[in-house]
Amino acid sequence: MSAQALNRDLYRTVYLIRRAEEAIKENYLDDEMKTPMHMSMGAEAIAAGVCQALDRHDPVLGTYRSHGLYLAKTGESDRFFAEMYGRDTGMAQGKAGSMHLSAPEEGLIGTSAIVASNIPVALGAAFSHKQRNTGRVTAVFFGDGAIDEGVFWESLNSASLMKLPVLFVCEDNGYAVHIPAEQRHGYSDIAEVVSRFDCGVHRSESTDAEVIYTLTRDALADMSATGRPQFLHLKYYRYLEHVGVFEDFKAGYRPRDAFEPWLERDPVKVQREKVVGLLGEEAVAALEAEIDQQVAKSLEFAKQSPFPARSAVVEDVLA
Amino acid sequence: MSAQALNRDLYRTVYLIRRAEEAIKENYLDDEMKTPMHMSMGAEAIAAGVCQALDRHDPVLGTYRSHGLYLAKTGESDRFFAEMYGRDTGMAQGKAGSMHLSAPEEGLIGTSAIVASNIPVALGAAFSHKQRNTGRVTAVFFGDGAIDEGVFWESLNSASLMKLPVLFVCEDNGYAVHIPAEQRHGYSDIAEVVSRFDCGVHRSESTDAEVIYTLTRDALADMSATGRPQFLHLKYYRYLEHVGVFEDFKAGYRPRDAFEPWLERDPVKVQREKVVGLLGEEAVAALEAEIDQQVAKSLEFAKQSPFPARSAVVEDVLA
Amino acid sequence: MTTTRQITYREALSEAMAQEMRRDPSVFVYGIDVADHKRIFGSSNGLVEEFGDQRCFSTPLSEDAMTGFGLGAALTGMRPVHVHMRVDFMLLAMNQIVNMLSSHYYGSGGTTPVPMVIRAVVGRGWGQSFQHNKTLHSWLAHIPGLKVVTPSTPRDAKGMLVSAIRDDNPVIFIEHRWFYDAVGEVPEGDGAEPLNGCRVLRPGKDITIVATSWMTVEALQAADVLARRGITAEVIDARTIAPFDVSEVVTSVQKSGHCIVVDNDWVHCGFGAEVAAQVYDHCYGSLKSPVTRLGFVPAPCPCTRPLENAFYTGATEIIRCVEEKLGLDQSDLSGENFFSYENKFKGPF
Amino acid sequence: MTTTRQITYREALSEAMAQEMRRDPSVFVYGIDVADHKRIFGSSNGLVEEFGDQRCFSTPLSEDAMTGFGLGAALTGMRPVHVHMRVDFMLLAMNQIVNMLSSHYYGSGGTTPVPMVIRAVVGRGWGQSFQHNKTLHSWLAHIPGLKVVTPSTPRDAKGMLVSAIRDDNPVIFIEHRWFYDAVGEVPEGDGAEPLNGCRVLRPGKDITIVATSWMTVEALQAADVLARRGITAEVIDARTIAPFDVSEVVTSVQKSGHCIVVDNDWVHCGFGAEVAAQVYDHCYGSLKSPVTRLGFVPAPCPCTRPLENAFYTGATEIIRCVEEKLGLDQSDLSGENFFSYENKFKGPF
Ligand SMILES: Cc1ncc(C[n+]2csc(CCOP(=O)(O)OP(=O)(O)O)c2C)c(N)n1
Ligand SMILES: Cc1ncc(C[n+]2csc(CCOP(=O)(O)OP(=O)(O)O)c2C)c(N)n1
Ligand SMILES: [Mg+2]
Ligand SMILES: [Mg+2]
């Protein structure tokens, strides 16, 4: 793939994620999206870069903070916004909401609001694809809080033991809700610990989606050469509060200062500059306009869509 | 403490454990000890060495395979055998049996038949003593199977983070029931992994109780110097089947060959030779006779003791 | 004479912990996010400030280990209060709670009790959905060796938490998030409330409504509406799910002849079945209609509001049920302003 | 015509898995110790040999992760069968089972079902005690989205396991260890049994005994003894705890007028309460005595034999209960040879 095409794709994704979350911010106070919003602003490069490196239908799993992952994986926003608005046209008829996005036909198997709970699920998906020799890799996204949980370690151990094609993607924003990593971790460097397992380790603090892409490609190459699972340790800065659409520097648990350097290398800005260099301002503006329109239309679609019928509450409990 | 006194104490303990378990073997087929027996033959040096290094009232916790730990900690066998025989005079009126021995007044807080479940309990005990500045260290004994469980990692992380005075004692016999470590562990060396936490690591394959004692003292010195928890990785060979009183080489999952070199350096034999050197054969024989008699009397005591009254079944459910 | 004043359920919780921490240095409070600036929705306000970060602290995200941690502390002289922001997260601690905490005292031959409290908050509303709305009181009540309480008033929140902390057994203390802003009379002093028995919240003679947790509010609202038609419903807060004492319910049903159990939980194999079975046993001759059980619809909890509303039962369903039992026409409820999420929380989550 | 033959419950389990593994390459069996030489008390015999170690394998001791593993496999085209040597160990997997498996299909808007079976063995006897005797069927039945079955005969062991594997939902399959040597007629072919409804094990007209799991054996023995006095008890195996269909029980109670529910579990907030409540609802007019619930005594399970015997309920208690209900004198049971651990297992564990 040419650098142009690659970077254009990456920009499309980071811009779509940013635009969609901005639309959430703009509309959330209308109280029509009745679902807790865990925003991913600041993390766009990760979802974009990793998903770009994966095959389109490779299975992925995520958390309650998966707007970016959904949009990176599907590129669509109609069913996305309809789900936020709790409508029948949402990808889960409104039953899931913001915390449980899925798109199984595109590989997004599921997202979970229980910290770390999808990590082992990725192992099963990887096993299933390995058994059938599909060549697929399963990626699971989780935060730095998830590595506190025992199931992360059980999963890391088993994936390493069974040589499962799992890509562990740790999106490390240094906080679990408001508790910093130093108050939760009994070691100084998670990558160091993980590297003692039979698992490849790669790390980055980049906000450049292309860097994340390349790192992921390297990890996938390592995986196919050695058969070992891979662990990506990726730092980023969460722009907004843990849940909700506002900044939260006033709360005092993290200083605004720390934000500034990250904002300077904002993932959308970084990628924009690059594509402007490659394709020119005009092409970029056109792409942005296209996405702006997509998001506007999806918002409209969502708001116009009907709610599910009351009877749906007891449907699809059992298959 | 003099080398004589130390080694005599250690021999007393390993011999008592061995003798008590031999008595179990000899009597188990009478079907009067109606409790599943997880024998510790081969591991005597560990319980003896570690408990000798601890202060007498330091809290300890163990597993279903804790005959050795109970005997090392308490030195008594009346309540021990009475519990095996399910009698009212057992340390838990027969409610606990072989898998749940305890002696809280001597520091043995509890033993559990759920793998790894006492590991976090040790953290709480350590915290409690740390808060009250008692200077006590809490030791928790567990097998190599326990490190498969997530709660081991959660506990290792939290103990390291909180700098809790916990001594993790991994009694590694290379098997969880019949499954060898290589089929369960996604790393080649647990001590390597643990050393990446803020936790001291010490290892041994010795069957010499004095070596274990010294290693434990080193670990405790490290703990008091650094405030860090400590991890002892101690290999041993389980002589008998996972549960029950027989050898199980015929089952085919482990070769008898592997047993031979361990049997050569049998912990009781090793310690005996040492104390014979230090104290002479006669003194050793006298000590053995004393313990033989203790065990014989305890067995008698147990068999003569009454069963608990039927009404006891609903007693002590709530405090 | 004890003075009382009006405080919130949230304040009652902090007050109970602060009071016991002052009284007894072995009490401490811990859990994920307990000591951050939000303090578990404000329910542990003031504790870090007064008692320091060794007696009120946040932990790693390790529910399983942190429950065992509490057990170890409890067995060695402390009185831990472990907090879960959602009941659902407690599922990660089930091994410790059920295999360890519940049986330790028994298994130690009655030598070592487990004075530990586990507070867990029930989530509801604003699309919390299926991983943030479980209640599980019937599960834990099913296990001998655990006490389970579901206080529904500020007075009980304080008094039962005080008693739970003093109790020598593991007590599971389940709080509904929607109660936090509720205001009520709470005694200033000790205020301990027994960890047994139900509480009659409103006397009545025509029908007995046994409710748990948030369902007490719905039942009281239903009773208000019914009262306007001259029907007096006796509303009883089950309050102590284990050990459960049915006697107040029996007395009431023997008088009213009708019983509805409104459980803040699913119905199948739930606490409602236990109450119904016990009521039938004791009131066999005096029942004028079968005991009716109401609760969540048999589905995971959906996110979107219309389905969320359909998922939960409430005052309307209770009123309809009473009307049916007593053979009354359906009253017009269109003018009623029943409880809703927006009445409680303004704006987004 | 289907031929049947006599095989053990243990053989029925292996046969069901082997049959389905042959039929469907997506089926696999895994869990702690599943593939060692003991093969979970022989219940997965022959699978490694026939299907290799990729379709039948032992795992690390990681119940939580291994349950999520099954979910991931199930969501991507496989049909995992996860095995726990004891129900108690499943407590470590509760988060996955309850927060994940039960709601995935619903939460995916009905797009992705979870065809997964969890087999878990109930321990009893020889001093297994309080960490190896839980049954938990009422717990799991309480959660919408799960099916829960407790087969009590070789025929049901095979047929319900076959159906569980074919079912697109998570099915919790609870086996009592003491059944493993039980011999019974099992069809040679497909043999699928529906995952719903009870099974009448013995017809009768004087009293209805609803039993779960091992309690069916106790109920049948009680019925034998009662038959000699001319009392015919109808013994019904509840079999499917969720979704539970009470209709056969209702038909029986409407005829007999008396009902005993003997649950292989604790009583408080258990499945027995559910059955009792439903029976009362449906048979209100026709009951001649209150529904009686029998089960474990409210305590953790003790180790020592005399207390273990006191902990469990059995044929004697059932007979006494029937005698009381029917106003009969107590018969002399001293000559009876009821089931005991030694009848089943000779010698030490
Ligand atoms: C098992 C569990 N425990 C606690 C919570 C409450 N909780 C929700 S998000 C969160 C923090 C997770 O932090 P991290 O994994 O770093 O993800 P981030 O929110 O930073 O993206 C916590 C504690 C939960 N959802 N699940
Ligand atoms: C949580 C849990 N899972 C499974 C079991 C069944 N089990 C009992 S002992 C054991 C093996 C434990 O191995 P290890 O920790 O190495 O101890 P060892 O028996 O070798 O002393 C297993 C799997 C259990 N008791 N608890
Ligand atoms: Mg984070
Ligand atoms: Mg081992």
pLDDT digits (tens, 9 = 90+) for D200-234: 999 999 999 999 999 999 999 999 999 999 999 99
Q: Is residue C340 over pLDDT 80?
A: no
Residue A138 pairs in a beta bridge with A166
Residue C334 forms part of a structural domain: no
Q: How many separate domains does chain D show?
A: 2
On chain D, the residues whose CB falls within 8 A of the CB of A63 are none
pLDDT value at position B3? 95
> What are the distances in angstroms from CA A173 to CA A233, A256, C117, D190?
11, 14, 32, 54
Other residues' Cβ atoms within 10 Å of the Cβ of residue C188: 12
In a domain, D340, yes or no: no
Q: Do C50 and C96 have their domain in common? A: yes
**Interface check A317 vs C, CB under 8 A:** yes
**Are the CB atoms for D217 and D152 separated by under 8 Å?**
yes
CB atoms within 10 A of CB B92: 26
Q: Does C92 touch chain A (CB under 8 A)?
A: yes
Same domain (yes/no): C154, C97: yes
Domain of D92, CATH number, reads 3.40.50.970
Whether residue C183 sits in one domain with residue C54: yes
| Mean pLDDT estimate for chain B | 98
Chain D residues touching residue A100 (CB < 8 angstroms): 107
Residue C176 within a domain? yes
Ligand 4 centroid to residue D81 C-alpha, Å:
25
**Interface contact A32, partner C, CB < 8 A:** no
**Is C211 in the same domain as C319?**
yes
The DSSP code for A197 is B
Distance of CA A316 to the CA centre of its chain: 27
pLDDT category of residue C348 using cuts at 50, 70 and 90: very low
Which residues have a Cβ under 8 Å from the Cβ of D254 and sit 6 or more positions away?
D283, D286
Tell me the residue range of the domain where D224 lies: 199-326
Q: What is the pLDDT of residues A262-307, one digit of tens each?
A: 999 999 999 999 999 999 999 999 999 999 999 999 999 999 999 9
Burial of B88 (0-12, 13-18, 19+ CB in 10 A): middle
For the Cβ of D100 lying below 6 angstroms from any atom of ligand 2, the answer is no
What percent of chain D shows pLDDT beyond 70?
97
Angstroms from A161 CA to nearest CA on chain D:
9
What pLDDT score was predicted for residue C1? 60
Chain A contact probe: residue of C85, C303, C343 with most A CBs at under 10 A: C303
Which among A177, A178, A236, A243 is the best mutation to test ligand 1's pocket, defined by most ligand atoms within 8 Å of the CB? A177
DSSP 8-state class, residue A99: G
Shortest CA gap C91–chain A (Å): 10
- Pocket (CB within 6 angstroms of ligand 1): A 65, 113-115, 142-146, 173, 175-177, 242; C 32, 61, 63, 85, 89, 92
Residue A173 CA to ligand 1 center (angstroms) comes to 12
| pLDDT, tens digit (0-9, with 9 covering 90-100), for B93-135 | 999 999 999 999 999 999 999 999 999 999 999 999 999 999 9
Q: Specify if C339 maps to a domain.
A: no
Backbone angles phi, psi at D150, to 5 degrees: -135, 70
What residue ranges of chain A have pLDDT lower than 50?
A: none
pLDDT at D178 over 70: yes
Protein residue with least CA distance to atom 11, ligand 1: A176
Predicted confidence at residue D345, as pLDDT, reads: 44
pLDDT, tens digit, for every residue of D32-67? 999 999 999 999 999 999 999 999 999 999 999 999
Residue B213 pLDDT exceeds 80 = yes
A235 assigned to some structural domain = yes
Give me the residue from D28, D72, D168 closest to A120, CB to CB.
D72
Which CATH number is D210's domain given? 3.40.50.920
Count CA atoms closer than 13 A to B41's CA, side-chain side: 22
Specify whether C176 is located in the same domain as C244: no
Find the closest chain A residue to B183 by CA distance.
A161
**Active-site residue, C84 included:** no
Residue C336: the pLDDT is 87
Reading the block at residue B244, the tokens are: 């029950």
- Give the nearest ligand 1 atom to A117 CA: 1
Residues C141 and C250 both lie in one domain: no
The token duo for B254 is 């482990």
Residue pair A122/A129 in contact (Cβ under 8 Å)? The answer is: no
pLDDT at C346 over 70: no
Question: Has residue C192 been placed in a domain?
Answer: no
Q: How close is the Cα of C103 to the center of ligand 1, in Å? A: 30
CA–CA distance, A16 with A22 (Å, rounded to integer): 10
The reply to whether D53 and D175 lie within a common domain is yes
Could you give the percent of chain B with pLDDT greater than 90?
100
B262-298: per-residue pLDDT in tens? 999 999 999 999 999 999 999 999 999 999 999 999 9
Interface residue A261 vs chain D (CB under 8 A) = no
Mean pLDDT of C275-299: 96
**CA C196 to ligand 1 centroid distance, Å:** 35
In order, the DSSP letters of chain B are --HHHHHHHHHHHHHHHHHHHHHHHHHHTTT-S-S--B--TT-HHHHHHHHHHS-TTS-EEEES--HHHHHHHH---HHHHHHHTT-TTSTTTTSSGGGG--BGGGTEEEEESSTTTTHHHHHHHHHHHHHTT----EEEEEETTGGGSHHHHHHHHHHHHHT--EEEEEEE-SEETTEEGGGT-SBS-HHHHHTTSSSEEEEE----HHHHHHHHHHHHHHHHHH---EEEEEE----S-SSBSS--GGGSSS-HHHHHHHHHT-HHHHHHHHHHHHH-HHHHHHHHHHHHHHHHHHHHHHHHSPPPPGGGGGTTS--
Q: Which of A154, A186, A199 sits opposite B198 (nearest CB)?
A: A186
Residues C17 and C44 in one domain: yes
Q: What is the pLDDT of residue A132?
A: 96
Across the range D94-119, mean pLDDT stands at 98
Atom 8 of ligand 2, nearest CA residue: B115
Same domain flag for D110 and D258: no
Does the beta carbon of B177 sit less than 6 angstroms from any atom of ligand 2?
A: yes
pLDDT at residue C65, rounded to an integer: 99
Burial of B277 (0-12, 13-18, 19+ CB in 10 A): exposed
Of these residues, D82, D84, D104, D132, which one is catalytic? D132
D122 vs B187: CA distance, rounded Å: 33
**Are C163 and C230 members of one domain?**
no
C347 within a domain of the structure (yes/no): no
State yes or no: ipTM above 0.95: yes
Percentage of chain C modeled with pLDDT above 90: 94
Q: C29 near C56, Cβ under 8 Å?
A: yes
**pLDDT above 90: residue D190:** yes
pLDDT band at C270 (very low <50, low <70, confident <90, very high): very high
Q: Ligand 2: which of B21, B41, B66, B115 to mutate, most ligand atoms within 8 Å of CB?
A: B115
Q: What is the number of domains present in chain B?
A: 1
Residue among D309, D304, D242, D310 nearest D278 (CA): D242
User: Which of C54, C66, C145 has the CB atom closest to B317's CB atom?
Assistant: C145
On whether any CB of chain D is under 8 Å from the CB of B28, the answer is yes
**What is the extent of the structural domain holding B109?**
3-305
Round to whole Å and give the CA distance between D129 and A224.
Answer: 48
Domain final residue pick, D162, D187, D212: D187
User: Does residue C3 sit within a domain?
Assistant: no
- Measured from the Cβ of residue B309, the count of other Cβ atoms closer than 10 Å reads 13
Q: Which CATH number characterizes residue A60's domain? A: 3.40.50.970
- B180: tokens are 């060898």
User: Has residue C342 been placed in a domain?
Assistant: no
Please say if the pLDDT value at position D347 is more than 50: no
CB A186 within 8 A of CB B199: yes
**C30-60, pLDDT tens digit by residue?**
999 999 999 999 999 999 999 999 999 999 9
pLDDT above 90 (res C297): yes
Give a yes or no: residue A316 inside a domain: no
